[in-house]
Structure 1
């Protein structure tokens, strides 16, 4: 199952909902969903506003915290959703942020391979040029989303850092030799303009 984390405050785009900003004529979230759909049997979007708009692209749920508490709040909501919908519980949960339109096409395949090769590992995340990309991650859900939700919630309240949470989980880092924009976040209007110019020229 793929989860798009779309709960950011959009502070660098004037408070706008980044996932719904137009990118080459389509909402940013549509680009992310199109890249994930071939990799995942199901998709879920976690957001804290605009749920009706997000639901046009995939099932959408509200995160469980007030304000904009960051990506860990989205993970708490995703695991909470699974805990309440056990009839079709996935074994794996893949996450990506909504402001990265071009995640690697083999993201799920390679993170899954790392977890399949180490039965003791519960989480794998992407690395590029040695730098961790903790929001591009896969979790071994198995049969216990309640425990996962509690773990993510504790990390959210203690420090709010996905990277520190992964360190505590002893997560596996998986190196990606992906194109330069595969993990590039579009944080500002100028980032969006630059992306559109680059892809119009390619």
Structure 2
């Protein structure tokens, strides 16, 4: 059986996930916090935009600010359809509903060093395995494998199933992935997926050009 072609850039919509509460940042809107003179969201958009044909920003607060940040990238703003910040799956659902492309590539707003080949590698794995979802793993310094589930390439036909999953009160990303054929793609540089969780971490990183 001939392998399906990998999704092209033009078939993929990028989704910046910036709709969280920012609990570990004292309630601050994480994507708007500044690193090296630019909001975290802008750092991610700069890396995501060359890999996708269109862009969306999932934002539940400050939509006007995110619209201004996303403007140079042609990004549209989408908000959760569910109340009370139910988590990244709600942002994914908003993205899946909003995109007009066949595939959605998601990335969180607090990972300013995401790889430039993220979309290409996930697309190749998705096609090679006839999968519904491709996500990321890395091997840490201690040899343990870490899953980074909010970095994912998904078929947009999954929207209805995700809506039903959330309507049933479910919130766990991995539990939803387990309902579908999911392939994990190993990246060797765990620093590329480093996420900034606190204002102290952000302040520390101001003195460096990357994590670690």
TM-score for the superposition, normalised by structure 1: 0.88
RMSD over aligned Cα, in angstroms?
Answer: 1.8
Equivalence for 1:64: 81
TM-superposed CA distance for 1:168, in Å, is 1.7
Deviation at 1:166, TM superposition (A): 1.1
The whole-number CA distance in structure 2 between the counterparts of 1:155 and 1:16 is 28
Give the SS at the match of 2:207: helix
What do residues 13-41 of structure 1 show as CA deviations (whole Å, max 9, x unaligned)?
Answer: 12111111111111110000001011111
Q: In 2, Cα distance between the equivalents of 1:26 and 1:127?
A: 28
Distance 1:31 1:76 in 2: 23
In the TM superposition, structure 1's runs of 4+ consecutive aligned residues that sit over 4 Å from their partners are none
Q: Is the 8 A contact 1:72 1:153 kept in 2?
A: no
Q: Which residue of 1 aligns with 2:126?
A: 115
SS class of match (2:124) = helix
Q: Distance in 2 between matches of 1:160 and 1:172?
A: 20
Would you say 1:94 and 2:109 are equivalent positions?
no
Contact kept, 8 Å, 2:113 with 2:210, in 1: the verdict is no
Q: Which runs of 5+ in 1 are unaligned?
A: 83-88
Change (3 A) 1:81 1:196: same
Show the counterpart of 1:31.
Answer: 43
Which residue in 2 is equivalent to 1:13? 25
Residue equivalent to 1:86: none
Alignment TM-score, normalising by the size of structure 2: 0.84
2: CA distance between counterparts of 1:187 and 1:32?
Answer: 15
- Unpaired runs of 5+ residues, structure 2, are 1-12, 140-144
Give the distance between the partners of 2:138 and 2:118, measured in 1 at CA. 12
Count of matched residue positions in the alignment of Structure 1 and Structure 2: 189
Aligned to 1:106: 117
